[in-house]
C-alpha cells in the first residue's frame, strides 16, 4: 500500500488523499489580461519534475503541500503552507 | 514487413514524431491522398509501443457534442474498409455498445446523447432495462443490489479491433508508398527560426543526428507536454496513467461492449476469449506506466457487481499507458502558434477509435497548412478564447 505523510495525522494510505494539482500563483483578476487569465485557468506544466502540489487528507480536511517527483511518484516532503514556502515566485499579471 | 533504413537523410519534407497509430496513419494518407512521400516517422521506442498498443480498442461515435459526433462518425466510416485497404485482417468486429444508466439523471444524459447522435445520422437510442436484460442475459441487473440498471444508451455500430494490426497496417502502407519509419530514434530538440510570434520550424535534433525540415507533425500522446516545451508552448494537457487488464481466455459469452460510468468499468470479450477491462483514469499526475493493486482490486470488485459468476476467473495481465488529458475531454489538433509545427494530441483515453480520421485530417492540415474543417472545434487556441468543446459527458469513463 502506498503511504503519504499528512503533516497533522502522520503516514496514511494514499487512498485517503486527493491531489489538487501543482501549486500555481494566481494573477490579480482585477488587472490581469484575458490571455494571462486563460493561461492561469487552463494551462499546466505537465513536464515531469519534482513539483509542489496541493494535497488534502480527506477524512480530516487537512490541506498541505507535497513535493513529489511526477516521473517516479516519489514523495520527497510534505508540510503545511506557510508564507514564503512556495518555490515558484509570485508572477506578474 | 517494413523497409529498414540504416541512415536518416539530412532533410525531409515532413517529419512525423511518434510511430503510434496516429503518426503512421498521417504518413499513410500524406502519401496516398496528397502525394507527399518524402516523410520520416521518428519513434523513440518501437512502432505501436505507446498507447496504440496499450488501449482497450473500443470504437464508437456516440459522443455528446456536434463536433465530436461528426468527427468520430467519419472515423467509424473510415474503419469499415481498412482491412481491405491494407490487405491485413484488423479483426474489426461490430458488437453493439451499451452505456448503462443506473440513475434517472444518467438516463437523461443518454437521451440527450441519443438525440444529438440521431440528428447527425448516428445509430444510437435510449433503451429500457428490459432491452438491456435481453441483450446481456448473464448480467446481474441489480448490480449486487446497490446500483440497479434502469436503462442504457445503445449504439449499434460500437466495435473493437486488433490494435497492433492497425499500427502495422498503416505503417506498412506508408512504408510501401515511400515514407521512412525510424525506430529507436528520439527527438530531443526542435530547431526554430525566429523566436516569438514569427517562430517557425527549421529542423529537429534526434539521438541519431539533425534533420532539416519545415514541417513537423507531433503525435506523441502522453509525451506531448515535453515536445511542446521544446517549441516554447504551454497547453492545458495533463498526464495521468490509465490502466487496464485482461482475464484468462474463457468461452465466448459476452457479445456487446458494456460500459458503466457509475461503476467505473468497461468490458468487452476479445476474439481470443479474454475479457478486456478498464476503468477510470489514475487520480494524479504521473509519467510512469506502473500498475497498481488498488486498480486491479477495485476494477475486479465492480466487475463482480455486474457479473458475479466471474469470481473464479483469473486476471492474466495488467498494464498502463500515459493519457494526455484535456479539460474538456476533446482533442487538441491542427496548426499552432509555431509555423510548421502541427499538433495531434489531447487524445487522452479515447483516441484509438479516431486513428483513421486523425490520419485523414492531419495529413490534409499538414499538406495544405490549414486546419481541416472537421477539426475546427479542436484547435489549440480555443482555450485562450474560452471556447471549450465540452465532451466530458461522453468520454470520462467510456473513453
Ligand atoms: C489503457 C488504455 C485504454 C484505452 N482505451 C481506449 C479505447 O477503448 N478506445 C479508444 O478510442 N481509445 C482508448 N485509449 C486511448 C488511445 O490508446 C490513444 O488515444 C491512442 O492510441 C493514441 O495514439 P497515438 O498514435 O496518438 O499515440 P501513441 O500510440 O502513444 O504513440 C505515440 C508514440 O510517440 C513516441 N514518442 C514519444 N516521444 C517521442 C520523442 N521525443 N521522439 C520520438 N518518438 C516519441 C512514443 O514512444 C509512442 O510510440 C486508451 C488508452 C489507454 C492507455
Q: With a cut of 0.85, is the ipTM above it?
A: yes
| CA of B59 relative to ligand 1 center, distance in Å | 15
CB B37 within 8 A of CB B31: yes
Confidence category of residue A86, pLDDT binned at 50, 70, 90 = confident
| pLDDT score of B205 | 98
Determine whether the shortest distance from the Cβ of B223 to ligand 1 is under 6 A.
yes
d(CA B24, CA B30): 10
**Alpha-helical runs (H) found in chain A:** 34-42
Minimum CA–CA partner of B230 in chain A? A47
The phi and psi torsions of B192 (rounded to 5 degrees) equal -115, 145
Residue with cell string 509555431: B338
Confidence category of residue A89, pLDDT binned at 50, 70, 90 = low
Distances (CA, A) of B55 to B89, B301, B346, B353: 18, 21, 15, 10
Q: Per residue in B91-132, pLDDT tens?
A: 999 999 999 999 999 999 999 999 999 999 999 999 999 999
Pick the CATH number of B74-160+240-321 from 3.90.1150.10, 3.30.9.10, 3.20.20.70, 3.40.50.300: 3.30.9.10
Residues of chain B with CATH 3.50.50.60: 14-55+164-237+327-394
d(CA B274, CA B331): 30
pLDDT per residue, tens digit, chain B (399 aa), is 889 999 999 999 999 999 999 999 999 999 999 999 999 999 999 999 999 999 999 999 999 999 999 999 999 999 998 999 999 999 999 999 999 999 999 999 999 999 999 999 999 999 999 999 999 999 999 999 999 999 999 999 999 999 999 999 999 999 999 999 999 999 999 999 988 888 999 999 999 999 999 999 999 999 999 999 999 999 999 999 999 999 999 999 999 999 998 999 999 999 999 999 999 999 999 999 999 999 999 999 999 999 999 999 999 999 999 999 999 999 999 999 999 999 999 999 999 999 999 999 999 999 999 999 999 999 999 999 999 998 887 776 677
Question: Taking the domain B14-55+164-237+327-394, which CATH number applies?
Answer: 3.50.50.60
- Burial class of residue A81 (count of CB atoms within 10 Å of its CB; 0-12, 13-18, 19+): middle
Mean per-residue pLDDT, A31-36: 96
d(CA A44, CA A22): 8
Determine whether the shortest distance from the Cβ of B331 to ligand 1 is under 6 A.
no
Distances (CA, A) of B375 to B63, B65, B190, B332, B344: 15, 13, 25, 9, 10
Angle of CA points A51, A53, A55, to nearest 5°: 150
Dihedral over alpha carbons B140, B61, B271, B50 (to 10 degrees): -110
d(CA B180, CA B37): 9
Tell me, yes or no, if A32 comes closer than 8 A to chain B by beta carbon: no
CB burial readout B283-310, b (16+ within 10 A) else e: ebbbbebeebebbbebbbebbbbbbeeb
CA distance B246 to chain A (A): 22
Pairs of residues, one from chain A and one from chain B, whose beta carbons lie less than 8 Å apart: 56
Mean per-residue pLDDT, A62-79: 98
Determine whether the shortest distance from the Cβ of B54 to ligand 1 is under 6 A.
yes
Q: Per residue in A4-26, pLDDT tens?
A: 999 999 999 999 999 999 999 99
d(CA B158, CA B57): 11
Among B17, B44, B50, B54, residue to substitute to test ligand 1 (most atoms within 8 Å of Cβ): B50
Distances (CA, A) of B158 to B96, B254, B255: 5, 14, 11
Residues of chain B with CATH 3.30.9.10: 74-160+240-321
CA distance B269 to chain A (A): 30
Cβ neighbours for B159, distance < 8 A, ≥ 6 positions apart: B58, B59, B60, B76, B79, B92, B93, B94, B95, B97
Distances (CA, A) of A86 to A5, A24, A50: 19, 9, 13
SS3 B373: helix
Helix (H) or strand (E) holding B163: helix B163-176
SS3 B35: coil
Instruction: State the DSSP code for B63.
Output: -
d(CA B48, CA B55): 11
Provide the grid cell at B318: 495488467
Determine whether the shortest distance from the Cβ of B21 to ligand 1 is under 6 A.
yes
DSSP string, B334-352: E--SSBTEEEEE--TTT-S
DSSP string, B70-85: HHHHHHHHHHTTHHHH
CA distance A48 to chain B (A): 6
Confidence category of residue A93, pLDDT binned at 50, 70, 90 = very low
Provide the grid cell at A73: 511518484
| pLDDT score of B270 | 96
Tell me, yes or no, if B248 comes closer than 8 A to chain A by beta carbon: no
| CA of B20 relative to ligand 1 center, distance in Å | 6
Tell me, yes or no, if A48 comes closer than 8 A to chain B by beta carbon: yes
| pLDDT score of B396 | 67
Q: Per residue in B149-167, pLDDT tens?
A: 999 999 999 999 999 999 9
| CA of B222 relative to ligand 1 center, distance in Å | 7
Can you name the CATH fold of A3-26+33-79?
Folate-binding fold (3.30.2270)
Provide the grid cell at B135: 441483450
| pLDDT score of A92 | 40
The ranges assigned to domains in chain A are 3-26+33-79
pLDDT tops 50 at residue A91: no
Determine whether the shortest distance from the Cβ of B187 to ligand 1 is under 6 A.
yes
Cβ neighbours for B268, distance < 8 A, ≥ 6 positions apart: B56, B57, B58, B95, B160, B254, B256, B257, B258, B275, B276
d(CA B246, CA A45): 33
CB B165 within 8 A of CB B144: no
Distances (CA, A) of B210 to B7, B80, B191, B298: 11, 39, 9, 47
d(CA B28, CA B31): 5
d(CA A52, CA B352): 33
Mean per-residue pLDDT, A55-82: 98
CB B158 within 8 A of CB B179: no
The phi and psi torsions of A11 (rounded to 5 degrees) equal -65, 130
d(CA B332, CA B380): 5
Amino acid at each position: 500500500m502506498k503511504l503519504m505523510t499528512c503533516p497533522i495525522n502522520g503516514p496514511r494510505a494514499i487512498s485517503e488523499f486527493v491531489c489538487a494539482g501543482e501549486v500555481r500563483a494566481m494573477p490579480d483578476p482585477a488587472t490581469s489580461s484575458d490571455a494571462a487569465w486563460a493561461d492561469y485557468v487552463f494551462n499546466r506544466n505537465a513536464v515531469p519534475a519534482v513539483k509542489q502540489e496541493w494535497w488534502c487528507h480527506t477524512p480530516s480536511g487537512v490541506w498541505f503541500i507535497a513535493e513529489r517527483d511526477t516521473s517516479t511518484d516519489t514523495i520527497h516532503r510534505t508540510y503545511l503552507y506557510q508564507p514564503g514556502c512556495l518555490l515558484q515566485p509570485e508572477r506578474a499579471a | 514487413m517494413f523497409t529498414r533504413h540504416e541512415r536518416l537523410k539530412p532533410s525531409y519534407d515532413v517529419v512525423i514524431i511518434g510511430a503510434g497509430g496516429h503518426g503512421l496513419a498521417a504518413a499513410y494518407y500524406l502519401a496516398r491522398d496528397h502525394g507527399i512521400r518524402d516523410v520520416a516517422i521518428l519513434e523513440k521506442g518501437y512502432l505501436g509501443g505507446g498507447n496504440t498498443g496499450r488501449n482497450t480498442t473500443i470504437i464508437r461515435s456516440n459522443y455528446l457534442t456536434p463536433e465530436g459526433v461528426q468527427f468520430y462518425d467519419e472515423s467509424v466510416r473510415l474503419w469499415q474498409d481498412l482491412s481491405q485497404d491494407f490487405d491485413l485482417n484488423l479483426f474489426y468486429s461490430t458488437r453493439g455498445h451499451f452505456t448503462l444508466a443506473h440513475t434517472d439523471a444518467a438516463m437523461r444524459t443518454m437521451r440527450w446523447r441519443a438525440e444529438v447522435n440521431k440528428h447527425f445520422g448516428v445509430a444510437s437510442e435510449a433503451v429500457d432495462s428490459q432491452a438491456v436484460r435481453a441483450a446481456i442475459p448473464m448480467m446481474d441487473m441489480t448490480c449486487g443490489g446497490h446500483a440497479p440498471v434502469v436503462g442504457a444508451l445503445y449504439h449499434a455500430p460500437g466495435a473493437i479491433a486488433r490494435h497492433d494490426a492497425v499500427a502495422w497496417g498503416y505503417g506498412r502502407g506508408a512504408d510501401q508508398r515511400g515514407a521512412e519509419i525510424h525506430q529507436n530514434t528520439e527527438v530531443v530538440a526542435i530547431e526554430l527560426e525566429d523566436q516569438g510570434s514569427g517562430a517557425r520550424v527549421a529542423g529537429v535534433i534526434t539521438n541519431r543526428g539533425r534533420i532539416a525540415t519545415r514541417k513537423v507533425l507531433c503525435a506523441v500522446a502522453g509525451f506531448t507536454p515535453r515536445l511542446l516545451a521544446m517549441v516554447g508552448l504551454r497547453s492545458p494537457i495533463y498526464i495521468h496513467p490509465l490502466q487496464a487488464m485482461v482475464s484468462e481466455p474463457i468461452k465466448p459469452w459476452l457479445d456487446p461492449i458494456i460500459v458503466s460510468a457509475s461503476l467505473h468499468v468497461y468490458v468487452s470479450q476479445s476474439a481470443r476469449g479474454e475479457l478486456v477491462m478498464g476503468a477510470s483514469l489514475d487520480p494524479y499526475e504521473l509519467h510512469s506506466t506502473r500498475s497498481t493493486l488498488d486498480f486491479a482490486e477495485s476494477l475486479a470488485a465492480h466487475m463482480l457487481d455486474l457479473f458475479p459468476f466471474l469470481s473464479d476467473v483469473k486476471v492474466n495481465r495488467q498494464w498502463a499507458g500515459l493519457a494526455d488529458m484535456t479539460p474538456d475531454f476533446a482533442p487538441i489538433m491542427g496548426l499552432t502558434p509555431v509555423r510548421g509545427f502541427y499538433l495531434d494530441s489531447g487524445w487522452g483515453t479515447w483516441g484509438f477509435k479516431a486513428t483513421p480520421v486523425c490520419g485523414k485530417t492531419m495529413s490534409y492540415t499538414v499538406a495544405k497548412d490549414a486546419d481541416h474543417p472537421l477539426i475546427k472545434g479542436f484547435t489549440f487556441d480555443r482555450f485562450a478564447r474560452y471556447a471549450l468543446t465540452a465532451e466530458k459527458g461522453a468520454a470520462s469513463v467510456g473513453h
